[in-house]
């Protein structure tokens, strides 16, 4: 019996307006689906914590100048260590940014941005992508979903979401079994000894493929330009890896 294709691609929240490489992944998946059928799964890696992931880069259409916009963060701990699914959205930030967007956005997407009521950064990005019509026909699976985490296979290298000074932080499990936060360079914050459950675990970059595939069982994976540098296809020989379509200015925000 021929297996129904499952076409997957993964991406962290990549700006409140998606970067063009995410748009290219979506278009690649849709093109492949038109050829072989099946379903498309967007593996939304909202358990990442890096604030640089949500940087939105815009080009002024009149001057060609680059403008970089990012979310504001509640505090330093939340900015640096909290998973994107738990980083909060400041309503004041939303109003301030909305005043800067008319030169970039048509009225409809601008209105969508202004009307969004998501309370977390990951939700805000996802709902903005939905408002732009990019997610039609895609199944969304989130790495921060506790049910997904409980269903995923164990991995030897991972992060654990735990409370710390009133916030949820994504702490790296050390080879010795300790949880720590990376301050920079060789400096770390060691957290108190504690137990954790699978619903608190998310993988590192090098264990993400096996962890994801244990639940998604995809037949095809759309790989970004840099992903093939660290993905190990031998871990999932059942997957056909498909390079995403090339696109100009991949790190610039996609504008409809």
pLDDT by residue (tens digit) across 162-185? 999 999 999 999 988 899 999 999
Residues 159/179, Cβ–Cβ less than 8 Å:
no
Q: Using DSSP, state whether 196 is helix, strand or coil.
A: coil
pLDDT at position 11 is 96
Per-residue pLDDT at 1 exceeds 70? no
Predicted TM-score (pTM) of the model is 0.95
Q: In the predicted model, what is the mean pLDDT of residues 3-21?
A: 96
H helix intervals, 68-106: 76-81, 91-98
Q: In the predicted model, what is the mean pLDDT of residues 1-5?
A: 77
Q: Using DSSP, state whether 32 is helix, strand or coil.
A: helix
**pLDDT band for position 140 (50/70/90)?**
very high
Ordered domains of the chain (ranges, CATH): 6-145+209-243 (3.40.50)
**What is the rounded distance in angstroms from the CA atom of residue 114 to the CA atom of residue 26?**
25
Q: What is the pLDDT of residues 97-128, one digit of tens each?
A: 999 999 999 999 999 999 999 999 999 999 99
pLDDT at position 2 is 58
């Amino acid at each position: 019996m021929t297996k129904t294709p499952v076409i997957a691609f993964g991406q962290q929240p990549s700006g409140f307006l998606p970067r063009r490489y995410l748009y290219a992944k979506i278009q690649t998946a849709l093109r492949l689906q038109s050829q072989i059928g099946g379903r498309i799964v967007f593996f939304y890696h909202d358990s990442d914590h890096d604030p640089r992931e949500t940087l939105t880069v815009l080009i002024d259409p009149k001057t060609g100048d680059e403008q970089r916009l990012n979310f504001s963060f509640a505090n330093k701990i939340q900015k640096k260590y909290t998973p994107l699914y738990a980083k909060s959205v400041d309503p004041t930030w939303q109003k301030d940014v909305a005043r800067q967007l008319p030169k970039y956005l048509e009225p409809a997407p601008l209105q969508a941005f202004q009307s969004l009521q998501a309370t977390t950064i990951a939700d805000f990005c996802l709902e903005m992508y939905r408002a732009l019509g990019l997610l039609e026909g895609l199944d969304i699976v989130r790495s921060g979903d506790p049910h997904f985490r409980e269903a995923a296979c164990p991995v030897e290298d991972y992060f654990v979401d735990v409370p710390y000074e009133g916030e949820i932080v994504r702490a790296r499990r050390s080879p010795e079994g300790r949880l720590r936060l990376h301050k920079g360079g060789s400096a770390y914050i060691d957290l108190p000894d504690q137990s954790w459950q699978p619903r608190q675990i998310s993988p590192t970059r090098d264990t993400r493929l096996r962890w994801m595939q244990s639940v998604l069982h995809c037949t095809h994976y759309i790989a970004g330009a840099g992903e093939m540098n660290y993905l190990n296809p031998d871990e999932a020989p059942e997957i056909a890896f498909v390079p995403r379509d090339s696109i100009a200015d991949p790190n610039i925000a996609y504008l409809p």
